[in-house]
């Protein structure tokens, strides 16, 4: 299905099924299309960019149309992909061309565009951050602030836009935050409990001061997230941690904007994590037009 082997095809398949059930109801009906379009009518349509941006999720076009064809009992439209994920587009660019039963094309139009526009919006937003960080040595990371049911797809879109995925969930990396420290009794107690219980899992510790960063290092942490620090405080923390000897991965988070991204990157951090990549990206405006 996908032009990119990293595309989460199973997640797309499941999401499309839920979206079509939601749109077509329990009897799988599009009352307008079924009443106005004869089953034998075939046409060609194009998926067209209405605004500049970066594509992600092009494989969803075929997934939607194949599922629609199964639901309404017609042949699946043929999909010709012209522009692949990660491609920068401008207004008027044709992303894909689909040919086949008009019923299937029109029934699937909104579901296909909802997913494709959403993922391309995430990729577009991420590309802006990646461009701001170019040449600094820092990378932009996503977070767990994703749309429920779309995490793997949205994180794929981040990659398509030039960003980097952080942890996928609560299971693949421990992140010790203030509430964990309070509940465990101390930063060190929390760190040692995680290391003892899950010895093979990476551990990140959130800190807000230089002293807390050094405390995390002393406890054994080598992946440290600096939360809501000013550029000056962040630079001091980076300097102190780099002087300790062992390599340390350092991430900045909280209150970051595109306007300040380069300034924060110049402090020497490895990463800037931005929840807004997935929770606040506007869609990329794409449309489907019948052309013959």
Which residues does the annotation mark as catalytic?
110, 145, 177, 206, 227
Which is it for strands 42-49 and 286-290: parallel, antiparallel or unpaired? Answer: antiparallel
Q: Which helix (H) or strand (E) holds 250?
A: strand 249-253
User: In Å, what is the CA distance from 75 to each residue of 32, 80, 145?
Assistant: 20, 16, 38
d(CA 162, CA 65): 28
Q: Which helix (H) or strand (E) holds 287?
A: strand 286-290
150 close to 57: Cβ distance less than 8 angstroms:
no
Specify the DSSP class assigned to residue 206.
Answer: E
Instruction: Mention every residue, 6+ apart, whose C-beta is less than 8 A from residue 113.
Output: 47, 286, 287, 288
For the residues of 140-199, what is the DSSP string, one character each? EE--S---TT-HHHHHHHHHHTT-B---SSTTSEEEE-HHHHHHHSSHHHHHHHHHHH-T
**Which among 179, 157, 173 is positioned nearest to 87, based on CA atoms?**
157
């Amino acid at each position: 299905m996908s032009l990119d082997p990293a595309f989460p095809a199973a997640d797309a398949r499941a999401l499309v099924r839920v979206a079509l059930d939601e749109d077509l109801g329990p009897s799988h009906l599009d009352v307008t299309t079924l009443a106005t379009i004869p089953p034998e009518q075939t046409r060609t349509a194009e998926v067209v960019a209405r605004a500049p941006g970066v594509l992600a999720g092009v494989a969803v076009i075929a997934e939607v149309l194949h599922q629609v064809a199964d639901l309404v009992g017609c042949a699946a439209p043929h999909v010709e992909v012209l522009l692949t994920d990660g491609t920068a587009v401008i207004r008027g660019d044709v992303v894909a061309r689909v040919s086949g039963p008009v019923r299937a094309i029109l029934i699937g139009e909104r579901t296909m565009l909802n997913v494709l526009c959403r993922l391309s919006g995430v990729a577009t937003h991420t590309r802006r951050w990646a461009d701001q960080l170019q040449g600094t040595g820092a990378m932009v990371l996503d977070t767990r602030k994703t749309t429920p049911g779309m995490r793997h797809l949205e994180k794929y879109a981040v990659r398509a836009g030039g960003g980097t995925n952080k942890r996928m969930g609560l299971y693949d990396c421990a992140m010790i935050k203030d509430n964990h420290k309070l509940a465990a009794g101390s930063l060190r107690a929390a760190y040692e409990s995680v290391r003892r219980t899950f010895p093979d899992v990476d551990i990140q510790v959130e800190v807000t001061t230089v002293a807390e960063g050094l405390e995390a290092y002393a406890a054994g942490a080598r992946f440290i997230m600096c939360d809501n620090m000013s550029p000056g405080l962040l630079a001091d923390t980076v300097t102190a941690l780099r002087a300790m000897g062992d390599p340390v991965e350092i991430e900045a988070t909280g209150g970051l904007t595109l306007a300040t991204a380069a300034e924060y990157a110049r402090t020497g951090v490895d990463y800037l994590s931005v929840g807004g990549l997935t929770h606040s990206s506007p869609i990329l405006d794409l449309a489907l037009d019948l052309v013959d």
